């Protein structure tokens, strides 16, 4: 009889624990860490064996590259070829929820970039992540700390629920502030920036900073590539097990008249619908609140025994683009 694996330990952010976890990272172990976006599963980014453990723990396919997290511009220049556009965006948005795709240097293991000649890099803002990385003294590869394809974790408890018997260490930094993954922009050709994944740094903010339009990645190119250029580009991702149906807008009485075995998630209403199977992403239309609550609400409803989740799309632009991107991937079949 196989002995069940021990559950991961959740660490409070004491100085002693941070030193212990920094040492674990230097040894090539995995540590789930808080960022301002979602929780990440961190490993030494320049240690191929350590990064391989990420793919094993998450059951992540090898053609889905990792994001490397750096603590300084000097660290970035050690792993990637920079350009003027990268310097502009880093000066404006780093540390923060923005990932840049750049040509990589040979020091980056092939497993990190899925064999591609580029690497995705960002500098997180979360104070605990930054403190842990300074103590470790290494760049950290860190995709979301959840089983591959499932709803991303925004609390330490979410990480433990999904990966608790596959990893040993979880650093608890409380609920994440933003709640959706970082914006990813392709800067391999700095004259033609491309948005690969929307996030809290919006397309409009990127365009203003760069002084030029930021277009979407070509879907034809994405299909033709043997490996994804960056994470989060699959048609189906961030998905609960319960089927999701999206709506531009619910009819006034639709949730109340619907099947009680199905859950209804509205965006914002001046006269909100009521019912035990009716939930709100936000009651006042605040996109930041909706983004922060999105994955937590999907996880709660996925565990609620419902047969289907009906969700209203967020109206408008800006952060709504990121929220709706996650919802469309969650609903994809």
Are 117 and 52 contained in the same domain?
Answer: yes
Distance CA 290, CA 330 (A): 16
Are 168 and 304 contained in the same domain?
Answer: no
Distance CA 81, CA 104 (A): 6
Boundary (domain end) residue, out of 224, 253, 269: 224
Are 140 and 200 contained in the same domain?
Answer: yes
Are 210 and 291 contained in the same domain?
Answer: no
Are 211 and 127 contained in the same domain?
Answer: yes
How many distinct helices (H) and strands (E) make up the chain? Answer: 11, 15
Ranges of beta strands (E only) in 95-134 are: 98-103, 118-122
DSSP, collapsed to helix, strand or coil, labels residue 132 as helix
Are 144 and 292 contained in the same domain?
Answer: no
Query: Which residues, including other chains, have CB under 8 Å from residue 85's CB and lie 6 or more apart?
Result: 187, 190, 191, 193, 210
Find where tokens 């795709």 sit.
101
Question: Per residue in 207-233, pLDDT tens?
Answer: 999 999 999 985 544 444 457 888 888
pLDDT for position 3 = 54
Are 181 and 32 contained in the same domain?
Answer: yes
Are 57 and 195 contained in the same domain?
Answer: yes
pLDDT for position 177 = 98
Distance CA 274, CA 300 (A): 18
Contact criterion met (CB below 8 Å) for 34 and 128 = yes
Outline where 34-166 has alpha helix (H). 48-58, 73-79, 84-93, 127-136, 156-163
Helix, strand, coil shares, percent, the chain, to 5 = 30, 20, 50
Question: Domain range for residue 191?
Answer: 9-224
Q: How many residues does the chain have?
A: 333
Q: Assess if residue 232 is contained within a domain.
A: no
pLDDT for position 220 = 47
Q: Which of 250-286 are b and which e, b meaning 16 or more Cβ less than 10 Å from the residue's Cβ?
A: beeeebeebeeebbbbbbbeeeebeeebbbbbbeeee
pLDDT for position 224 = 43
Are 163 and 290 contained in the same domain?
Answer: no
- How many domains does one find in the chain? 2
pLDDT for position 255 = 77
**What CATH number is given to the structural domain containing 115?**
3.90.870.10
305, two tokens: 């025994």
Question: Per residue in 96-134, pLDDT tens?
Answer: 999 999 999 999 999 999 999 999 999 999 999 999 999
Q: Assess if residue 235 is contained within a domain.
A: no
Q: Tens place of pLDDT for every residue, the chain, 333 residues? A: 445 578 999 999 999 999 999 999 999 999 999 999 999 999 999 999 999 999 999 999 999 999 999 999 999 999 999 999 999 999 999 999 999 999 999 999 999 999 999 999 999 999 999 999 999 999 999 999 999 999 999 999 999 999 999 999 999 999 999 999 999 999 999 999 999 999 999 999 999 999 999 999 855 444 444 578 888 888 888 999 999 999 999 887 777 667 789 999 999 887 777 788 999 999 999 999 999 999 999 999 999 999 999 999 999 999 999 999 999 999 998
């Amino acid at each position: 009889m196989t002995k069940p694996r021990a559950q991961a330990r959740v660490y409070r952010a004491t100085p002693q624990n941070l030193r212990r976890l920094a040492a674990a990272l230097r040894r090539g172990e995995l540590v789930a860490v808080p960022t301002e976006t979602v929780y990440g599963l961190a490993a030494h980014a320049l240690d191929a064996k350590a990064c391989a453990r990420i793919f094993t723990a998450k059951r992540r396919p090898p053609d889905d590259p990792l994001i490397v997290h750096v603590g300084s511009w000097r660290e970035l220049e050690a792993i990637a070829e920079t350009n003027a556009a990268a310097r502009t965006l880093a000066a404006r948005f780093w540390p923060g929820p923005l990932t840049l795709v750049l040509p990589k240097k040979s020091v980056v293991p092939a497993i990190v970039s899925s064999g591609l000649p580029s690497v995705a890099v960002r500098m997180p803002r979360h104070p605990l992540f930054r403190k842990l990385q300074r103590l470790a003294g290494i760049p950290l590869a860190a995709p979301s700390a959840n089983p591959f394809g499932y709803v991303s974790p925004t609390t330490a408890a979410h990480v433990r629920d999904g990966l608790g018997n596959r990893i040993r260490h979880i650093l608890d930094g409380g609920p994440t502030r933003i709640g959706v993954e970082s914006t990813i922009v392709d800067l391999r050709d700095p004259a033609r920036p491309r948005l690969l994944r929307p996030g809290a740094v919006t397309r409009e903010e990127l365009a203003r900073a760069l002084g030029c339009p930021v277009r979407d990645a070509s879907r034809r190119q994405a299909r033709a590539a043997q490996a994804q250029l960056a994470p989060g580009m699959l048609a189906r991702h961030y998905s609960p097990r319960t089927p999701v149906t999206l709506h531009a807008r619910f009819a006034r009485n639709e949730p109340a008249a619907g099947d009680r075995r199905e859950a209804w998630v509205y965006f914002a209403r001046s006269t909100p619908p009521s019912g035990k199977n009716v939930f709100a992403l936000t009651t006042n239309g605040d996109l930041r609140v909706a983004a922060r609550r999105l994955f937590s609400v999907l996880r709660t409803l996925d565990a609620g025994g419902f047969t289907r989740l009906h969700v209203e799309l967020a109206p408008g632009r800006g952060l709504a683009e990121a929220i709706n991107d996650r919802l469309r991937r969650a609903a994809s079949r």
